[in-house]
Amino acid sequence: MKKTHLLKTEEETRKLGGQLACAARPGDVIALVGDLGVGKTTLAKAIAAALGITEDVTSPTFTLLCQYETGRLPLYHFDVYRVHEEDELFEIGFQEYLNGEGLCVIEWADLVKALLPPETLWVHLTWDATGTERICTVE
């Protein structure tokens, strides 16, 4: 089922993150897709906060992965923007995380779509025509 949200404020982003976190179960994968600066990391932070993670959540742009174990579920936060070859992901155990006991949130997930399970929840973030509000489509 496809659902579209208009995210006018950071509070609305936190609310959506809360909804996604509330529905998350071990082994789930949330794929975040959108242009640079559209709010993928902000949404990942909102999901983490709603899971009860108290650590500072940052984008793993250069490390590929940040793990957070303090919430209701472990959170495996990936940023695959800089991945050039699938082997880079296999070296860090990407498939094991996808099949693990935590929630995987993957920024730039469209770059590794072929590696993701069919039941992945896709979250597409775009700017509206004015460039002031974000449109978020969840499917």
Domain residue ranges of the chain, discontinuous segments joined by +: 3-138
Q: Write out pLDDT tens, residues 101-137.
A: 999 999 999 999 999 999 999 999 999 999 889 999 9
Residue 13 has pLDDT above 90, yes or no: yes
CATH numeric code, 3-138: 3.40.50.300
Ordered DSSP codes for the chain? --EEEEE-SHHHHHHHHHHHHHH--TT-EEEEEE-TTSSHHHHHHHHHHHTT--SPP---TTTSEEEE-SSSS-EEEEE-TT--SHHHHHHTTHHHHHTSSSEEEEETGGGGGGGS-TTPEEEEEEE-TTSSSEEEEE-
